[in-house]
Amino acid sequence: MRAADYVHEISAVLDDGYPADCVTHACRIAELLLAEGKTPWIARLRDVREVASGVFHGPLTPVRLAGRKGPTWTTHYVACEGDVVYDPLTEAPVAMEEYPVAAFGRDIPIERFLDEETTANLCRRNALRAAMR
């Protein structure tokens, strides 16, 4: 299976709820991208702001699941390759500059959490999931 096919397959079942978690999907997509000979890396999205009472972690609610008792997170992980984000929330791979609005309806910083080399090494050791927890 190709990474783009996985994204489409999981996206097709989102009307029934969000299966597993974003870490599961990011890990599987990274593995598939590696198998395709690509160089994936892991991105993290968080809306973290300093406010008078301390640090505020803003909610991340996926546009496709809003209003359906869908999930809301404070952190979301995705697999990327180059400047393309692979995430079932967007139905198909999408350009990085378009991703936050497509997935969450607003601009949210995309942080490079694990670079290509680290992602590949962790995948080979079956340790990618542990690195994102």
Residue 71 has pLDDT above 90, yes or no: no
Averaged pLDDT, 7-20: 90
The overall average pLDDT reported for the chain is: 93
23 contacts: CB under 8 Å, gap ≥ 6: 77, 129, 132, 133
Going by C-alpha positions, the residue among 14, 3, 25 that lies closest to residue 63 is 14
Residue 96 has pLDDT above 80, yes or no: yes
Place of tokens 């489409």: 8
Determine the structural domain holding residue 34 and report its residue range. Answer: 3-131
Q: How confident is the model at residue 68 (pLDDT cuts 50, 70, 90)?
A: low
Instruction: Give the chain's domain count.
Output: 1
